[in-house]
Structure 1
């Protein structure tokens, strides 16, 4: 059975609001547009973006002989923990994370692809997870002397997600 080590095979994209027309089938053009930020190299391993347990209803018929649990509303959760890249107090990279995530209320999509090299461009037929979020207040960390400068961006779900979406042409 083939196996792959989970090193360098995850890509994270931030797609601004309106950048994905159909969450279940984003296009390669949408995911490579100039407004899309590839944040992969900044994502810390403690980042959490994933589907979570659905809300359920527990109601059975009088003839059922065991409990019945039915999923109703799907849930997902997220936060981005990001390294901040500085040289002489200014962002080194073309992706200025604090400019991208500078306030609460910024709506966009976190798109995650797992299984191909993170450096490889997104193409049609790639399988991705798409989550629509609104940012909460960015949390800037520093001054502790216990690691790199980081930015934590709490993410608030906005009602649309798809795990295993296939990128359209």
Structure 2
């Protein structure tokens, strides 16, 4: 079993209703420059929390979904403390980014021929792009055996995708 290292968990959500950007931008810790970006940023719980006028929220920079969810809760508390109403809070993990190593050098030309839904064009990118269907995510695999998995909706799904790929490589006698 390959051990994955979670690098980033992205959580998306909504605080239920639109919020006035001008009021948000005056809250303590708010970072807002409308000429650069339409959202207000906060650093909460070690994460970057971005809230838009529509009430949509994005949390990046977390290593766990729980930390990102806690950051949203902290934002909601900050809004409540400033008498900004929030509706039903919805949130979900949108993207897990992780890295891993197979600990073997690979012939990417051969690997790309045995792994379904893989694309290898060494003139444009030094790795293989593998689009996994179940679980749905994308794996970037390099000749060094290092890989990056993006787009999974949970850490478990990212781990499953990496380990399924490892099993396919073993069955195809690439390791």
Is TM more than 0.5 here?
Answer: no
Q: Taking structure 2 as the reference length, what is the TM-score of the superposition?
A: 0.24
Higher gyration radius (CA): 2
TM-score of the aligned structures, taking structure 1 as reference length:
0.25
More helix per residue: 1 or 2?
2
Report 1 or 2 for greater relative contact order, CA contacts < 8 Å, sequence distance ≥ 6.
Answer: 1
